[in-house]
Amino acid sequence: MASRLRAGWGAILILTLLLAACAQAPPRPPALPPPPLGPQEAVLDQALQEFYGAPYKSGGATPQGVDCSGLIQAVFVRAGVALPRTVAQQFREGRNLAVSELRFGDVVFFNRFCQTRKYGLFTAEMIPGLTDEVCHNGIYVGQGRFVHASPKGVFVSRLDAEVWRVSYMGARRYLPY
């Protein structure tokens, strides 16, 4: 009788292990490779690599020091696209885009880092969305990320981060897709 019980438990154990193996989620497929870049996008990518980590410098437009609109202007001129110098001027150029249309090389705009204005006890920077002024931008690089020059230098941020999500003002496309 004891051997029958052991055989019964053994069968239950094997069956349990088989069912557990079937219940596991299938392995994740490998990440898709990025889409091939055209010649202008490849130039943008190369220029962004050169500027990545550059220090912030108000009015700057070189890898030795750059501000947000200087980064946009310098990177796009290398791809053969002449853009004006300021964020507000750049916002008036190009084709308006929805977030769902964003592709590598599109420029995203925000009302973050605007000149601080006092509103009673509060400042415009303390109240997201208080101003409709565009005063910061960056280059969308895919997967919800963008490269921009902030007071911390040139680095990558996520569009879905709270600070960028609430200050998002729109996007423009300057490249012919």
Q: What is the pLDDT of residue 119?
A: 52
Percent of the chain with pLDDT over 90: 65
Please name the CATH architecture into which domain 38-173 falls.
Alpha-Beta Complex (3.90)
Assess whether pLDDT exceeds 80 at residue 144. yes
Catalytic residue numbers read 68, 136, 148
Q: What is the pLDDT of residue 25?
A: 46
Q: What is the pLDDT of residue 76?
A: 97
Q: Which residue has the tokens 């219940």?
A: 23
The DSSP output letter for 62 is E
DSSP string, 128-151: TTS-----EEEEEEETTEEEEEET
Quote the pTM value: 0.74
pLDDT tens digits for range 19-68: 555 545 445 455 545 666 899 999 999 999 999 999 999 999 999 999 99
Among the residue ranges 42-46, 83-87, 113-117, 135-139, the one predicted with the least confidence is: 113-117
